[in-house]
Structure 1
């Protein structure tokens, strides 16, 4: 009986309100210190980002500047987190030692995220495209707005933001429309088999004459790409000086060609299917 009473007294002393008050007040103080240290590092980053942003943009292109800014931010907040834990009384040495096992476990759980981060670093090193390039990744076309460590963000023509995982970008075929100085437009059109091809060729080439957006060197050309039973497929190949206008110029050129063919009386036949009615005589035999 005395043993039970002594245990009860010890438990009552250990779980007393005063003891809980001390523990909560101590945890509150440590939490406040932790938050204050993080706020100090955030303020440092806010001031530093304003200072280095202009410097990075002057010395590097947008892609390198973005990668450097993200790397500095991650390093600074990583250091700030460790310092905040240490200031709050957490044994960071033991914590960092235990992160090895935790990191191995998280590595298996977050393998896709880690794969995207590694791919993001490789994208910055390989440079298949840069920020502001016009690209097509697995059928997704648009302007590269930002390359982070996890995703490549593309703004489409209709104003949508498409975030493509970097691992997918590395494993897919990437088409860049702005990596080289000039771009060729290939506009296909069909004419009837009885039409004069030389006349159609001259009419097509006349649509880009006196237009400063089209280049004379390399010179434009009209080639026959396919011979069909019902039409001949021609292709106007013209180089433009500003590759960023290729969609707008292609739309304009198609409309211009259509109007000129209609006004010139050039036939543009499509594939047709003729249905013929057949009468089938069925003889019935009586047994």
Structure 2
């Protein structure tokens, strides 16, 4: 028993000796420094590959969406290999670590199912291409320009300068309206005129606004249609196709203003449908709505 205690004490003294602890600390620092150096080397490799990819894509004319997707895959692929190589250099048994990750993969998958869903949705967005970087889109009532498509979210810059990070799963599961996926776009301006007005005259006035305007297409030709016959007015709609779909917001504002100014200058009545309620035994209105 005394001999066993002596051997145990000797082992403890060897393990906790200053020389042994100093050597262990030095070896640990060397391993950490080596691992960091290896990882930084892979990081530099990724930066060089990114520059090479940008140069190659610029020469080949690859679109920005494909370049962004390839950069993302390249980044995570190279850095993942660098991380595993750094652990291996530091003396960590990467095989055992990978096996442990495989066993824990099911648990991690349940815990991070939303992140995995966004990742898969990001890949589907790239494959399906409902829009690309630079497109003007509307997702869930939010309108803006697609700035970036990552594996987690789609970044949209709104007209007032806000950046919206929309999860890719929401983009996949919702209706996305693109204003720039097709060559041309039609803008519609609604207006009401009095029931006594001549539709022919009003139509001539409205179509005259677009005459000799290079922003609008002559084919398909603009037109004025009647959308509703109300009790006190006629609802019309001026429909015009524009050449540059990216200008649709500014052109819609300008055209709406031109419609109002033109009809007012021509003396065309533009009434609103009005409802007035009068209290019993009095002529004073209690509610008026348009």
Scaled by the length of structure 1, what TM-score is found? 0.92
| In structure 2, distance between residues paired with 1:77 and 1:215 | 51
Partner of 1:91: 93
Shift of 1:8: 5.0
Partner of 1:248: 250
- Judge which range, 44-53 or 250-259, deviates more: 44-53
Partner secondary structure for residue 231 of structure 2:
coil
| In structure 2, distance between residues paired with 1:38 and 1:10 | 37
Aligned 8 A contact 1:57 1:65 in 2: no
Of 139, 164, 167, the match for 2:166: 164
| In structure 1, distance between residues paired with 2:108 and 2:185 | 46
Shift of 1:15: 3.1
* 1:96-135 aligned within 5 A: 96-135=98-137
Shift of 1:97: 1.5
Partner of 2:54: 53
Shift of 1:194: 1.7
Once superposed, what is the RMSD of the aligned Cα atoms? 1.7
| In structure 2, distance between residues paired with 1:254 and 1:225 | 17
| In structure 2, distance between residues paired with 1:11 and 1:229 | 100
Of 237, 244, 257, the match for 2:259: 257
| In structure 2, distance between residues paired with 1:226 and 1:273 | 18
Shift of 1:33: 0.9
Unaligned runs of 5+ in 2: 283-290
Confirm whether residue 195 of structure 1 aligns to residue 197 of structure 2: yes
Partner of 2:241: 239
| In structure 2, distance between residues paired with 1:19 and 1:273 | 94
Confirm whether residue 144 of structure 1 aligns to residue 146 of structure 2: yes
Partner secondary structure for residue 195 of structure 2:
coil
Partner of 1:26: 27
Partner secondary structure for residue 52 of structure 1:
helix
Scaled by the length of structure 2, what TM-score is found? 0.91
> After superposition, what is the alpha-carbon deviation per residue over 1:16-48, rounded to whole angstroms, capped at 9, x for unaligned?
343332322222111111111111111111222
Unaligned runs of 5+ in 1: 281-287
Partner of 1:36: 37
| In structure 2, distance between residues paired with 1:117 and 1:155 | 21
Aligned 8 A contact 1:142 1:157 in 2: yes
Of 214, 217, 223, the match for 2:216: 214
Shift of 1:4: 6.0
| In structure 2, distance between residues paired with 1:194 and 1:17 | 105
Q: How many residues align?
A: 280
Shift of 1:10: 4.2
Partner secondary structure for residue 130 of structure 1:
coil
| In structure 2, distance between residues paired with 1:86 and 1:207 | 73
- Judge which range, 180-189 or 90-99, deviates more: 90-99
